[in-house]
Amino acid sequence: MRIGVLTGGGDCPGLNAVIRAIVRKGSGDHGHEFVGYRDGWRGVLEGESRPLGVPEVRGILPRGGTILGSSRTNPFKQDGGAEAVSGTLEGDGVEALIAIGGEDTLGVATRLGQEGVRVVGVPKTIDNDLGATDYTFGFDTAVNIAMEAVDRLHTTAESHHRVLIVEVMGRHAGWIALHAGIAGGANVILIPEVDFDIERVCDYIERRFEQEYAPILVVAEGAKPEGGIPEAKDAPTDAFGHARLGGLAHWLEGEIEGRTGREARATVLGHVQRGGTPTAFDRVLATRFGLAAIDAADAGEWGKMTALRGTEIELVDLSEATAELKTVPEHFYRGAEVFFG
């Protein structure tokens, strides 16, 4: 069988490990051939692909990013998009697709699957917010990068008696902030799931200074104060309607300085969290997902997604995986609050 592979949405350490596992097992054990579509759904829409065989995947296991490229193109935002996708697949002699992506890319895969395209999904996002899987690869790498940043910021915060605010990714879910904050010993963690009271945050800051330490705040980009931030409204949006986030840490700088008189400085980690080499955990998880995805395609398990359940890789319905985001449960956040202040 000739199978198309694509990576869509924000890139993520471990994508190349998935591609490698699909191609190595698919060619070696099952005798399939592969076409690599460039830049997610854009490549399928516009018929842009590259060869994808064993030679092309040699040496890519530790490399961050994706050799296929990625984009946030949404075929359903374009007139005749779904027909163009089918046209490309037919023209290339591609009988099935393996789509590696997050909620948006897999949402498109779900719809195309319902319209008859033979598709298998692999979950990907540093945000770890996809339903139906316990973890997504890329998350562990992002958390470790953020934790290292927090570790480093502690010493400089102490030297200057400053409040340091670290903004991490996490649009709808605070998994990175919570894990990096707990692992790095942050004094306050703010996540999108729980609106924060700025007065309370300032109390934690004062308490920390009273103990002669300097506070570190870890904040998810999607966290909001009670009542919201007025300036955030006109941010540009992508093809899936998501506003570009970033800037909460700078807003907090001003609020904290104004309310406490303490010097506050922001560090926005941004895309550093998505770059570079994946951790061992992410390489192994990504490899297991790739192996399971090609087995699923070989067995004709269309409309399914690979998922980590406990310690096992299972197949779940794509529609189940994309139905609801997995957010941080309140009890988990309340546990972390023990260490605030």
Indicate which residue of 11, 104, 127, 298 is catalytic.
127
Q: Choose which of 85, 117, 126, 130 interacts with ligand F6P (CB under 6 A).
A: 126
The partner residues of 166 in beta bridges, in order of sequence, read 218, 267
Residue pair 180/147 in contact by the 8 Å Cβ criterion:
yes
Lateral strand order in the sheet of 216-220: 188-190, 216-220, 163-168, 264-268
Contact between 305 and 120 under an 8 Å Cβ cutoff? The reply is yes
92 given a catalytic annotation: no
Longest dimension (CA), the chain: 69
248 vs 296, which CB is nearer to ligand F6P? 248
**All residues at 6 or more sequence positions from 21 whose CB lies less than 8 Å from its CB, including other chains:** 286, 287, 288, 289, 290, 291, 294
- CA-to-CA distance for 143 and 178, rounded, in angstroms? 9
Tell the smallest beta-carbon distance from residue 311 to ligand F6P (Å).
25
64 binds ligand F6P (CB under 6 A): no
245 binds ligand F6P (CB under 6 A): yes
CA-to-CA distance for 253 and 249, rounded, in angstroms?
6
How many Cβ atoms are within 10 Å of 230's Cβ, its own excluded? 7
Q: Which of 7, 70, 110, 125 binds ligand F6P (CB under 6 A)?
A: 125
CB atoms within 10 A of CB 95: 15
**Candidate list 13, 170, 290, 303; residue touching ligand F6P; CB under 6 A:** 170
Determine if 141 is a binding residue for ligand F6P (CB under 6 A). no
- The DSSP output letter for 237 is B
CB of 37 to ligand F6P, least distance (A): 19
3-state secondary structure of 178: helix
Sole window of 119-127, 145-153, 299-307, 311-319 interacting with ligand F6P (rule: CB under 6 A) = 119-127
Nearer to ligand F6P, 109 or 315 (CB): 109
| Residue 268 interacting with ligand F6P (CB under 6 A) | no
The pattern of x and - marking residues 188 through 227 that bind ligand F6P according to CB under 6 A reads ---------------------------------x------
Taking CB under 6 A as the criterion, the residue among 20, 154, 171, 288 binding ligand F6P is 171
Residues 103/129, Cβ–Cβ less than 8 Å: yes
Query: In whole angstroms, how close is the CB of 294 to ligand F6P at the nearest point?
Result: 25
Residues 93-112 that bind ligand F6P (CB under 6 A): 102
Query: Which residue in 3, 5, 8, 10 binds ligand F6P (CB under 6 A)?
Result: 10
- Where does this chain bind ligand F6P (CB under 6 A)? 9-10, 102, 125-127, 169-171, 221, 244-245
Question: Which residues are known catalytic residues?
Answer: 127
